[in-house]
Amino acid sequence: MNAASAWISRSVSRLRAPAKATKDAAEGAAAKPDAPRTTHERLQATLRRSGEALSPRVLRRLLADLQAVAAPQVSELEGGRSAQAVIDWYASAEPEERRDLWLLMCEQFTPDAARIKTARQRYEAATGTADEGQAEIGLRRALVSPRTRLLQRFAVPAGGMRFLVDMRAELLPLLKGDKRLLPLDAELEHLFSTWFDVAFLELRRLSWDSPASLIEKLIKYEAVHDIRSWADLKNRLDSDRRCYGFFHPSLPNEPLIFVEVALVDRISASITPLLDEAAAPADLSKATTAIFYSISNTQTGLRGVSFGNSLIKHVVETLMAEFPRLRTFATLSPIPGFRSWLAKHAGTVLDKLDDKRRAELGRAVGFEPPQAAHLLGAADKALELDAKSPVRQVLLQCAAHYLGRELQEGKPVDPVARFHLGNGARVERLNWAGDPSNKGLKQSFGLMVNYLYDLKRIDKHRTQLAQGKVPVSSEIDGLCPD
């Protein structure tokens, strides 16, 4: 290659390198899109970027509307009128436009960081002195964000509480994908825990004579055993049944949570007779047992606000006043997490069986040594298994272990168990084929459980659970040896 050719080759190479680098940079930028702009950045901008719902101009106007709601110098009534205007805008806004409103609430109404820092330093300096109390008050006030006052004003107009509850219900599914929304969710949950305290709730009985609009809501919100027809609903409101709900003055026609109760003469082992529309009402003069067979929360937006413990207490007191003969209060509950738990742990279960039991199970499933898939396959035919079936015995022992031993961060892994055991109940009895419906089979191979509320031992059971031991009956204890 002559000198001229070499020079041309070197020059072309130098020209190609920057071009390739530029191309690579462009491809990298395409692969890594810019992070979403904060509302602070968007409010200072002129143009809207792709993916942003509201333009900077509209965003500034919306912020001004929110600031009018939260303005400390205006009255609650005037702030409430401003809030109503935003509620009206929200009703016709698109989902992404609503998200922009939430982001404004999160990012533009935060506590004053400098004020918090100063208040914390004063509190730390005053600890142990006569000024500690005053310093604590200062710190508490500094921690209150303008967002609190903003949300309080939204609760002022008629329908404002309904707006806030529904807004949080929309917000909840998006939290995992957008952590910027977490402060708004936390603020709403905190306010709801105060506004919906049991002291402000009313326990009301729901009967066949209740307004039709209210009865229809039982059908809509029933979460445990679907109400199939009006005849089904009428059976659940018959003379030997009771249905109670908690109501809040700001949501007068919306039960926040309701419980369905059957009054019987013994602890129920199956949901089928309780849901039998053709069954004659039980003799109330012989009723000694109240069975809580369905408890349903109705408001997604109130997630994290606990009503169940107070509801059960109030219902027990109400029932005892009406039926002094009642002595036993228990549930007939689903085990919604059992099937999925067993699917993950079937192999471990088989490994823990001794040789004799493993061989018996192998003969029962037609494969030795049995594998997890064989156990789960045989469990799918649970209703066909007789009382002596090794598969049935393994399932019962696994269910007892799942309810009586499995804890996660000190709490039962099953959500229904977590609810009742947290309220002071104990795991009393497993019921084979307690729920033979498709839903029951899919959740727990048809198994149901009774949780017993022993009124004299509720506090003891709570303490026991707090110490990491699930309260169980001797029958359950015998099924799940350590």
DSSP 424-470: T-EEEEEETTS--SHHHHHHHTT-EEEEE--TTTHHHHHHHHHTT--
Q: At 169, is the secondary structure helix, strand, or coil?
A: helix
How many angstroms separate the CA atoms of 172 and 176, rounded? Answer: 8
Q: Which class does domain 338-479 fall in?
A: alpha beta
- Asked whether the predicted pLDDT for residue 24 surpasses 70, the reply is no
C-beta of residue 227 within 8 angstroms of C-beta of residue 219: yes
How many angstroms separate the CA atoms of 377 and 371, rounded? Answer: 10
Q: Global pTM?
A: 0.84
Note whether 40-110+145-196 and 338-479 share their fold: no
Task: Specify the range with the lowest mean pLDDT, choosing from 2-6, 311-315, 430-434, 448-452.
Answer: 2-6
How many angstroms separate the CA atoms of 203 and 104, rounded? Answer: 37
Q: Which class does domain 40-110+145-196 fall in?
A: mainly alpha
Confidence tier at 263 by pLDDT (50, 70, 90): very high
Query: What pLDDT score was predicted for residue 208?
Result: 92
First to last CA, the chain: 84
* Spatial CA neighbour of 349 closest among 392, 385, 398, 391: 398
Q: List residues with catalytic annotation.
A: 333, 420
How many angstroms separate the CA atoms of 400 and 66, rounded? Answer: 53
Architecture in CATH for domain 198-333: 3-Layer(aba) Sandwich (3.40)
Mean pLDDT of 365-380: 91
Q: At 475, is the secondary structure helix, strand, or coil?
A: helix
* Spatial CA neighbour of 160 closest among 214, 96, 90, 110: 90
C-beta of residue 319 within 8 angstroms of C-beta of residue 240: no
Mean pLDDT of 111-129: 91
Q: Any idea which residue has 């679907």 for tokens?
A: 226
Confidence tier at 480 by pLDDT (50, 70, 90): confident
- Asked whether the predicted pLDDT for residue 95 surpasses 80, the reply is yes
Domain ranges of the chain: 40-110+145-196, 198-333, 338-479
Task: Specify the range with the lowest mean pLDDT, choosing from 38-47, 130-139, 307-316.
Answer: 307-316
